[in-house]
Structure formats: C-alpha cells, structure tokens
Amino acid sequence: MQIKKSAMILGSIFALTSFSTHAATEITFWHSMEGPLGERVNEIVDNFNQKQSDYKIKPTYKGAYGESMNAGIAAYRAGQAPDIIQVFEVGTATMMFSKGAIKPIQEMSEEVGNPIDPKNFVPGIAGYYSEPNGKLASMPFNSSTPVFYYNKDMFEKAGLDPNSPPKTYAQINEAAKKLKEAGIECGYTTAWPSWVLIENFSALHNLPYASKNNGFDGLDARIELTKNGFVKHFTFLNQMAKDGTFTYGGRGDAANALFSSGKCAMFTGSSGSRANFSKNAPFKFGISTLPYYDDVPGAPQNSVIGGASLWVFNNKSPEVNKGITEFFQYIASPEVAAKWHQDTGYVPVVKAAYELTKASGFYDKNPGTDVPFIQLNVETTNESRGVRLGFLPQIRDIQDAEMENIFAQKVSVEEGLENMQKRANELLQRFENSNK
C-alpha cells in the first residue's frame, strides 16, 4: 500500500513538473483593431497560439489609436506596460524618443538568435519604421496608404464610365459636376484630411512638407506649408467647396460613413477601409490611384504610409522577447501577410506576400486591390518618404481645424495655411526643447 501511495505521489510530482515545463509564456498585446479588422487580428493570434505551445499571445482591444498609445504610456509609467502595443504611424517619433521605454525589434530579434531582416519588407515601409542606423525600431504590421474609392452605381447614373475613374483633381471636379447634375448630393469627400490632402499631396508632388527632410534628420524640423504648391492646392479645393463639388466630411475617418452609406460618390481614404466597405456598402465600388495635378513635373511620385506598427516595451524577460520575435516572424511570413492583405486592404508589408497574392490571381479577380502596393513600391525621395515629427497627432488636429475654417469661408487659404504653420511650429519647438 505504501509503495502504491509513493508511486502516486511521484506520478503527481512528474505531472506537475511536466506541466510547469510546458506552460506557455503569456504575451500581452494591446491593439486598436475593431469590427472586421479585430476579427482578423484574433484569427491571426489564434492560429499562432494553436501552431505552437510555448507562447500564448493575449490580444486586447484598447480603443482608438490615440487612446491606446496614451494607455500604453501610462501603463509603462505605472510599471504595468503590455509586452506589445500597436501604435499609429503618427506616434512613431514619440515612441522613438521614449528612451528606455522601447526595445527596438530588430535588436531584440538579434539578441534572441532569430533576426528579423528589414530587407524582406517593402522599402518605403521598412524605412519609415527604422532608426538612423537602418535597423527596425518597430514591426510593420497594418500599413495602409490612401486610395481613391468611387461608387460605380452612381457613376452609371451620372453617365460616367464606371470602369474609367478620374485620375487628376481636375477630372474629379468635372466628374463631381456631372454627379451633381444627376441629383447626387455629394461628389467628392475625403477621410483623414491632413493625411490625404497635406501629407500625401506633398509626397505625390515631391514637395517638402517640413525642413530637415520632413523631420527625419533632426528635432529642429519645422513645417513649411505657405509655399505655392499648397496655396494652389487649397485654392482649388476651396473653389470646389464653394461650387458644391467637394464636401468636407470631418476629421479622422468620419467621412467613411458618407461613402459607405451611398451619400458621396467619390472618396479618398485608407486602403484598410476596404474590408468594411466590402462588408457594409450596398453598392458596387471601384478602387483607383490617388488624384494629383498633372501640370506638376514628375507627379505622381509615391503615396505615404499610414496605419500602424507593433512596438515592444523594454525590460521584458528573454523568454517573452523570444516569443514576441517568433510571433513577429509568423505575421511576416508570406502566407500570413498575404492573407491579412487580401482580407483587409492593408498593404502587403513583405514583398513576398505581394508576389504570392499576385501569383494566386487575387488582383485579377479583385481589380484595384494592388493599387496600395503600386503607390508605395516606388523609390522615395527626401520629400516623399513620409513625415516623422513630434506631436504629429496634435499637428493634424491644428490642420483639420484650419481646413474647417478655410472650407467654411471663415479665413482665406493663405491665412489658414499660415495659421497651420505657425501653430504647428510652436509645438515642434516644444518637442525639440523637451527631447534635446
């Protein structure tokens, strides 16, 4: 009896030892994906968790991008930071200058012996999220870029060719006039006005947005919006607003609803909106390239990224860092990255995912879905690779407020742009002083 009891005790000890040896290391992941996008994130995480038993990723939706980043910073200060946090691209400078808070992901992957190679990523995306030494600071994930969406049903109603969307701002204006004549209330609108109408406008036309190579080369960068390219652009848009062919749709992605509800016929917004439009829009829509001015030499150049990347907080255990690296390698695998791109409309961040998607015939079956990659897969210039400035979310708020004043005819175009520049540069001075 004693022998049997001892055997049972030993068996229990071995079972407990086995369980503790194989207990998965939990890794917390805060993100801002909701609705269909949140479902896709959960699907990726579930597949990774089922694929292996050493690590368990625990995703948590923490609100919109700004809320999530603020929550992450507060959690870090309280000593309760998550392991991974998704941060929108305008928070990149803030995260990079959070010295001691962040573990650069390429450095982390090299330390655990499973290096993440930046050469696998689309150059314009990897470059944006890289440190001055060329190493990745954060993990490219849901990179987007703005594209042009249009309602094919409304085009047919107005006598416009649904398979030949406008390419230039002048053509958009002409199409909007015909749509208005056909009784369609809203011809053209845009989401994310500062991202689309200022940052991407400057990149597409190879115009500097700020000094110091748009902020990449120094904390003393300053906004430059009073030059003739921006004046001409906003004068054109303001005339469209007066004519009723352009509708200011609000800040952030508020204008998405104007398009998906069938109120506005033409719309510029994130490529990542395709999943929601495909699910909810009660009409056929097309996707094309961003509009530009064809009298600007070299235009269109390239669009710039939006969306977000994944950051790792510092001072995590080697085992957690090893698991994070394995998860990052998983989401960057061609098959996973290709499915994420196809399901959502976000850009394939690794080149092999684009090739895999192309070979599958996806782009042939879904015309326009390759537009985001085509717009980004261009050798960038110092003026066109994007903007890396401190307080960029607040700068966008300033720009949106001044655009509202311009399109409401409360201030002139010149006054609005001067106000944008002055107020933004005051913020940049503060950022420089606090990070020297």
Checking if the pLDDT of 123 tops 90, the result is: no
Checking if the pLDDT of 99 tops 90, the result is: no
State the pLDDT at residue 19: 46
Strand ordering across the sheet containing 264-270: 186-190, 264-270, 146-151, 285-288
What does the domain layout of the chain look like in residue ranges? Answer: 2-144+306-365, 146-303+390-435
* CB count in 10 Å sphere of residue 74: 11
pTM of the prediction? 0.85
The topology (CATH level 3) of 2-144+306-365 is: D-Maltodextrin-Binding Protein; domain 2 (3.40.190)
Confidence class for position 227, pLDDT limits 50, 70, 90: confident
Residue 215: beta bridge partners? none
Element (H, E) at 298: none
Q: Cα(331)–Cα(329) distance, rounded to whole angstroms? A: 6
Alpha-carbon separation of residue 151 from 196, 264, 290, 355, 404 (angstroms): 19, 8, 15, 29, 25
State the pLDDT at residue 377: 84
- With contact defined as beta carbons under 8 Å apart, do 113 and 345 qualify? no
- With contact defined as beta carbons under 8 Å apart, do 314 and 103 qualify? yes
SS3 of the chain: helix, strand, coil, percent, to 5: 50, 15, 35
pLDDT in tens, 14-57: 454 444 456 999 999 999 999 889 999 999 999 999 999 999 99
> Same CATH topology for 2-144+306-365 and 146-303+390-435?
yes
- With contact defined as beta carbons under 8 Å apart, do 353 and 100 qualify? no
Checking if the pLDDT of 98 tops 90, the result is: no
State the pLDDT at residue 204: 96
Q: What is residue 60's three-state secondary structure?
A: strand
Q: What is residue 408's three-state secondary structure?
A: coil
Tell me the three-class secondary structure of 184-242, residue by residue.
Answer: CCEEEEECCHHHHHHHHHHHHCCCCCEHHHHCCCCCCCCECCCCHHHHHHHHHHHHHHH
Checking if the pLDDT of 357 tops 50, the result is: yes
- CATH superfamily placement of domain 146-303+390-435: Periplasmic binding protein-like II (3.40.190.10)
The residue ranking higher by pLDDT, 30 or 279, is 30
Alpha-carbon separation of residue 369 from 5, 53, 391 (angstroms): 66, 35, 32
Q: Tell me which of 88-102, 134-148, 240-254 is least confident.
A: 88-102
Amino acid identity for residue 244 in this structure:
G
